[in-house]
Amino acid sequence: MTWEPVIGIEIHVQLRTSAKLFCGNAAVFGDEPNKHVCPVCLGLPGALPTTNPEAVALAVRTALALDCTVHESSVWSRKNYFYPDLPKGYQITQFDRPLATAGVVDFDGPEGEGSVRIRRIHMEEDAGKSLHDRVPGSTAVDLNRAGTPLVEVVTEPDLRTPADVRAFLGTLKRTLEYIDVSDCNMEEGSLRADANVSVRRRGSETLGTKTEIKNVNSFSGIERALDIEIARQIDVLEQGGTIEQESLLWDDHRGEVRSMRSKEESHDYRYFPEPDLPPLSVSAAEIEAARRALPELPRARKARLEADYSLPAYDAEVLTQSAATADYFEGVVGAGANTKTASNWVMGALQALINERGDDARDVPVRPESLARLIALVQDGTVSDSAAKKVLGFMADGGGEAMEIIESKGLLQVRDDGRLAEWVEAVVAESPDEVARYRSGETRVLGFLVGQVMRRSQGQADPRRVNELLVERLS
């Protein structure tokens, strides 16, 4: 390919606070429109903002987790623009003196390790929300979100492929979830990413004219939108045209980008220092305390799980998708379970249970020690693997400990050769074609026959002994 994409990302993260950034109204999603508003977030005359210290603490934690330098002094600014959901006619943000600068995020991309520099992290208040489906032919405005605290993470243009963008955003999202600063729910707008993209001749150091893709609410959507926009820009340039600097709207249903408006420059917003707020001060002691309080981050934890538990890289990657899942796994191992067996159970049966219930590992009503005991019962032959998965479901429904459930539900694994032989004989009689194939040398058929015996026994037969009896019977 003779063209090279150059991509930078701007990520807005809604901070997990109880109140808005400059007033005491609740920062909630999905409530009755315009319920959580006041003179401050409406910008009424005489109402003065006061900075929420909880939001500042979460912003500092975010910056440190992304390896940024947090500045002891930063300045609030007014960003002036007019839009229906911006009640004051300006947004309180940070401009030339942001909270933090010069960070880096390492990530595992499809073609190996990648790294993205963080240019800046600044705090700002969110706008309201325009509703286009409430009043026919009109746009309604819900200002509940106005004033909600955000951090904006701005990267350098270090990304070169849409796939790397998706991988980077996945790493960033996991990091934010690990440090518990945001729920990162893209559908609710807690995490929003805009992509700035240009193309240039491969080998050139000169940046092309960029466009900004907005309105993307999924990582897969960002990847698709970038693929389409990059192809469009290349086609325009190869036809002798020029790229217009503009903001583009992504339509996920149609799979297309379309022009939204010309792209603004910083001077268009007429930034100036916010006169109603003093500079934001964060002491060196506060920064250091926040640094010490950071939990183990996803990439470090993945590396540790591989080293400490001799886990495959794949297992460690899956287990560290959430801190709760990694905690649960380590709890199961700490209770005595074999590491690989514990990993298989947490990634398999437990995750299926979580997906079914819409929970996460923190909400599973089965303690890690209880799962470890269930695993031990599988390994000593008390219960079959398939029956144990049923037992786990009963445990999650509040049915008690594993052994109690196994006995009450009649799930003890059958090892009596007499009963096993009855099931084996029945399956052999019902499967003449498979028996003939096995005897002609197709030994893989044995797995099918074992499965049929397990099915007939409703998962109670000892599969190892069934395998032995079938081999003896068919010899």
Q: Based on the domain organization, do 137 and 53 belong to the same domain?
A: yes
How many other CB atoms sit within 10 Å of the CB of residue 28?
Answer: 13
Q: For residue 112, what are the contacts with CB-CB under 8 A and spacing of at least 6?
A: none
Kindly state whether residues 278 and 390 are assigned to the same domain: no
User: Which one of 236, 270, 290 terminates a domain?
Assistant: 290
Residues 100 and 146 in one domain: yes
Closest CA to 182 of 361, 347, 29: 29
Asked if 162 and 269 sit in the same domain, the reply is: yes
Q: Which of 259, 290, 321 is the last residue of a domain?
A: 290
Q: Are residues 360 and 431 in the same domain?
A: no
As a whole number of angstroms, the distance between CA 217 and CA 194 comes to 10
Q: Collapsing DSSP states into helix, strand and coil, what is residue 251?
A: strand
Cα separation, 361 vs 31, whole angstroms: 27
CATH of the domain at 422: 1.10.10.410
Q: Is 462 left (phi over 0), alpha (psi -120 to 50) or beta?
A: beta
Of the candidates 53, 48, 66, which has an alpha carbon nearest to the alpha carbon of residue 282?
A: 53
- pLDDT score recorded for residue 1: 63
Q: How far apart are the first and last CA of the chain?
A: 61
**Statement to judge: residues 183 and 151 lie in one domain:** yes
**Three-class DSSP category at 376:** helix
Give average pLDDT by consecutive 10-residue segment, the chain, 475 residues.
Answer: 92 95 88 90 91 97 98 96 88 96 94 93 94 82 93 97 95 95 89 94 90 87 94 93 90 82 71 95 97 95 96 95 94 96 95 82 88 93 86 86 87 82 89 88 88 84 85 86
Give the domain range for residue 443.
Answer: 417-474
- Cβ atoms of residues 420 and 466 within 8 Å: yes
Q: Are residues 155 and 134 in the same domain?
A: yes
User: How many domains does the chain divide into?
Assistant: 3
Among 387, 408, 429, residue at a domain's last position: 408
Global pTM reads 0.84
Are residues 238 and 211 part of one domain?
Answer: yes
- Do both 118 and 263 map to the same domain? yes
User: What pLDDT is recorded for position 374?
Assistant: 95
